[in-house]
Structures are given as C-alpha cells and as structure tokens.
C-alpha cells in the first residue's frame, strides 16, 4: 500500500478474544472477554519475500522438504506414488 502512495501506520492491532468462563449457562449465547494488543510492525522484508515466493511458484524446482514440516512426508509419499 505504501508503494501505491497510501499512508500506512507501522502500528497494527491484534484483537484477542477468549471465552468468558464466568458467563454461567450457555443459553444459546457465547460471551467473550476481549483485549486490543498493539503491535509495531516492519514491512521492509515483505516485497523481497513476495518476489521469492512468486519465483518459487513459477519455477520448476521443488524446494527440499523441511525437517520440521508436518506435511512434507505426505507430499513426498503422494509424489512417489504418482511417479
């Protein structure tokens, strides 16, 4: 948005909502306690990350599986089964 000339604040907000355990009976109504949590962001990394993501999607090379990725073994098995 900044690159298109819009004024953008570095401050963002998270709205945190949690079910209110003091609410008593359900009675077809959920009650929550909410809080606004401020966050100072830095978007300097976004354009480069976006360009790298586009290049990855448009490329022919599949990135290596991540050791901590819960989906990678499934994708590898599915790929091997389809070969």
Query: pLDDT, tens digit, for every residue of 20-46?
Result: 888 777 788 888 999 999 999 998 999
Residue extents of the structural domains in the chain? 2-60
Q: Are strands 11-19 and 32-40 parallel, antiparallel or unpaired?
A: antiparallel
Indicate the SS3 state at residue 16. Answer: strand
Angstrom distance (rounded) from CA 19 to CA 34: 9
Contact 69, 62 (CB under 8 A): no
Dump pLDDT digits (tens) for 50-68: 999 999 889 888 777 788 8
Q: What is the largest CA-CA distance in the chain?
A: 57
Is 49 a residue whose pLDDT tops 90?
Answer: yes
Q: Which two tokens stand for residue 82?
A: 């389809």
């Amino acid at each position: 948005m900044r690159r298109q000339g819009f004024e953008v604040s570095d401050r963002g907000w998270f709205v945190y909502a949690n079910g209110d355990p003091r609410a008593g009976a359900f009675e077809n109504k959920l009650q929550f306690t909410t809080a606004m949590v401020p966050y100072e962001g830095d978007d300097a990394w976004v354009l480069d990350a976006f360009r790298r993501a586009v290049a990855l999607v448009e490329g022919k090379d599949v990135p290596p599986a991540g050791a901590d990725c819960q989906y990678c073994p499934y994708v590898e098995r599915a790929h091997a089964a389809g070969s």
